[in-house]
Every structure is written in structure tokens, then in C-alpha cells.
Structure 1
Amino acid sequence: MIKVILKFGLFSLLFLGITAYSQEKKHFTGYSNILQGIIPNQKTDFWILVHSSYGKNQEVKTVGTKKDYTPQTSGFNLFPDENGFFYIVSSSGGKIEYITDLPAVKKFIGKIDNVEEAAIMLTAEGYFVDEEFNDLAGNYSEDNANYYLEVGKLTSKECPYQKKHFNITVSKAKGEITNTKDDGTYIELYNKKCTNNPRLLKIEKKETPKDEPKKSNSSTKRR
């Protein structure tokens, strides 16, 4: 009986260890690496991931035997206000296609095959991996059923500039978002031009000191 209990205890510890390991948080390591995780939904003759910055094009990943293509002057980003842009050159049945926006990238991906594709899908929904604050909005974990991504979202470009972070569950079987948790604001920046700047509002509300009442000049009568 003691042996059975010991075996059960060891099995439980092993199971809990495997579960904890499978849900260990990992950081995303750059937008280029995220995009290199793409597995196209359709068969291609070749496809190329290109990064363009200041007029220079760098082929980040090439799959298949590439043919000549036309460099693009616009593309997509995985982060708001990112310098440069990415685009994908894809050939299927001898026809070359240029993928220059996120909806087209999402269509090119099709079924979600890995956590990188899940992150790209969320980017197409308005979220992003925040490399600068990856402990809050740039990491993920997974188990047999789901991907769990902690990502950011730009909720205001006006005053104040604001980012929130979200914990989002993506089903591996369906490739869909099954749960979204708002973890609150992690960046809120005001400047002098912000009319709703709390510091300015405090200054405006601060009462100006009232003048002290003047002493009466009336002289007292002598007796």
C-alpha cells in the first residue's frame, strides 16, 4: 500500500512539473523572428520575407527558389510607428503576389500553426508585441490546448498617449481567440499640450491666495 502511495505521489509531482514547464513564460525575440515563423496556408513555388528600411531592402527569409520580383515601396508593421516596414513576395502556380498589409498576411497564414502566427493574427486585430516592455506585453506560454499571449494595445494617440496590456487565449484547435483579459494601463504619458494633464488641472484648481483684509484707518478717540 505504501509503494502504491509513493508511486502515485511521484506521478503527481511529475505531472505537475510537466504542466508547469508547459506553461512557462517565454519572451518573443523580435518582429523579424515572429514573421519567420510563418507557415503559408497554401503551397508556394517560393516566398520571401523582406524588410525595407530607408530605401534598403533586406531579404530576411527565403523559402524555395526565388525569381526576380519588384521591390515594394509600402508594407506592414507589427508595431505602431515602427521604422521601416515588411512585405512578403509569394509565388504560387507561377504567379507572383505581393503581400503588403496585415489582412493579406492573415489570409496568407490561414490556419494558426504556431505561437508566432497567433501573435501575427492578434496584430491584425489591433494588438502588438511590445519589445520594450516584454515582461508585461511581449511574452507567451502554451499548453496542449491553447496559446496564452501577453500583448499590448495602443488605446490612445491623443492626450494622454496610452498603452494597455492584455492576456489573450488562442485555441490551438480553432485558431481563434477564446478569452481576453484586460490587465490595465502600463503606459500613460502626458505633455504640456495636454489639456487633461492632471498636473495642469491641479494648478488650475489651486486657489489663488486672497488679499489680507486691510486694517482700519479710523483713529480711536481720546478721552
Structure 2
Amino acid sequence: MKLLFPTLLLLSGLVFGQKAVPSDFKKIPEILDNTELLYPFIVPGKKYDYWSVLRNNPDPDKAIIYESQMPQYMTINDPAPEKGFFQKCLGEDCFSYLIACENSRSAYFSNEQQLRDFIGCVDNLPEAILIANTYGYTVDTTNKLAGSYKIEEKNISLYLSKTKNCPLTKESFLIKINRKTGRLEAKSNGIYVKSEDCGVQ
């Protein structure tokens, strides 16, 4: 009984420490929890002749994540940069980068800030999620506390997650992104998943 009471107290603290998701928020579609599926929805902040998102893979067919319509006269043979955004590891297939062409000149976008600059104004939900991803927030479609959104005229609001490993901890955040500037504000909404040890996922 002595052990049961602190455990119940801890669980109730986790549950009651969180604020509920307001009823005017909708569930984020499951397909939008995959970063690579967000790129086709980007409406760049300025007009480019062509742009593409690639991963650092020496095989050109495997490198392309997404590409816009390329003009027939255009060929791009630029090598991959040494680093990019969403860096997961060292070596091949470890990061993504963007290349855009304007007036026959190509430009790299190879870090999170440059990706945000490329997006510019936030036109839609996938762009908002992508911007949040650049700050380390992710969609967890299994829980409304980390997989909900609301689109308003000036802002897009999201409930997203930040995950820490060992022990696994998932924390809910209310994110507000200014649609005009892309500026992000975040407020913790409490931890909603916490494992006891590093082996539990």
C-alpha cells in the first residue's frame, strides 16, 4: 500500500499537470508525421525556376526526396554539401538539403534556419509542421496532446511533442507560429509519456 500511493500520486500528477486540448483543435493527419512527406506542400517565399530537396546519397536516384518541375533546358550537377538540416548521423543518408535555381544560378539551403527562410510565409499546415520540426518538435498522431492543430488568419497553433531518450520522455508543447513571419512561440503542456528505464520504448 505504501508503494501504491506514491505511484498513484505520480500518475495523477502527470495526468492533471497537462492541460486538455481545446475542442476547436483538429487531429493532424497521420501522413504529416513523416517529414519527407511535407516537402511537396512547400510554397517557397520567393519564386524559383526549380527547387528540390535531397538527402546526402551518392546515388542520384536515391538522393531525391522531392523536386519541383524542372525546366527542360536545366541540368544541375552540384555536389552535396558537407552538412544539412535534420542531421541524424554521420555519413551517407544522414541529412537533407535543398537546392534552388533562380536565373540559372543554384543556391543551397543546408541548415534549419535556411530552410525556414526558404519557406518564408507559412501558407499551410505542412509548412507549419516543417518549421516546428526545425526546432525539434514532432508530430505524435497517437496522442491529441502532440498531434493537434488549429489554423487561424494570423497564426497556426499546434500541439506537438519533444522526445528525450533514456528514459523515454515525451513532452507536449503548444506551438504558435506566426503565418506572416514564421516566428515560433512554444509553451510546455507537460509530460505525457515517461518510461521507467532506458529499455522501455
Report the alpha carbon displacement of residue 46 of structure 1 after superposing the two structures with TM: 1.0
- Find the partner of 1:160 among 156, 160, 167: 167
Give structure 1 regions of 4+ aligned residues with deviation exceeding 6 angstroms: none
Whether the 8 Å contact between 1:28 and 1:140 is mirrored in structure 2 is no
- Is the contact made by 1:26 and 1:141 (CA closer than 8 Å) also made in structure 2? no
Distance 1:93 1:126 in 2: 34
Provide the residue aligned with 1:61 in structure 2: 67
Aligned letter for 1:70?
Answer: D
Residues 37-61 of structure 1: per-residue CA shift (max 9 Å, x gap): 2111122121112245696313423
Question: What secondary structure, in the 3-state scheme, does the structure 2 residue paired with 1:167 have?
Answer: strand
Report the counterpart of residue 26 of structure 2 in structure 1: 24
Pair 1:140–1:42, CA change in 2 (3 A): same
Contact 1:166 1:182 in 2 (8 A): yes
Give the deviation of 1:165 after TM superposition.
Answer: 1.7
User: Does the CA-based 8 Å contact 2:122-2:178 persist in structure 1?
Assistant: no
1:189 is displaced (CA, Å) by: 5.3
How many percent of aligned residue pairs carry the same amino acid? 23
Aligned residue number for residue 34 of structure 1: 38
2:39 alignment partner, SS class: helix
Offset at residue 153 of structure 1 (A): 1.1
- Deviation per residue, 1:108-146 (Å, 9 max, x gap): 112222222222222222322346x46442342323443
Distance change >3 Å, CA 54–CA 41, structure 1 → 2? same
Report if the CA contact (8 A) 2:146-2:161 is conserved.
yes
- The alpha-carbon distance between structure 1 residues 178 and 68, as it changes in their structure 2 partners (threshold 3 A), is closer
Give the secondary-structure state (helix, strand or coil) at the position aligned to 1:128: coil
> How big is the shift at 1:68?
1.7
Counterpart of 2:10 in structure 1 is: none
2:128 is paired with a residue whose SS is: helix
Question: In the TM superposition, what whole-angstrom CA distance separates every residue of 1:54-73 from its partner, at most 9, and x where no partner exists?
Answer: 96313423234252233526
Counterpart of 2:12 in structure 1 is none
The 2-side partners of 1:50 and 1:129 are apart by 22
Contact 2:55–2:97 (8 Å) recurs in 1: yes
Q: 1:27·1:135 contact (CA, 8 Å) conserved in 2? A: no
Partner residue in 2 for 1:89: 99
Structure showing greater Rg: 1
Gaps of 5+ in 1: 1-19, 193-223
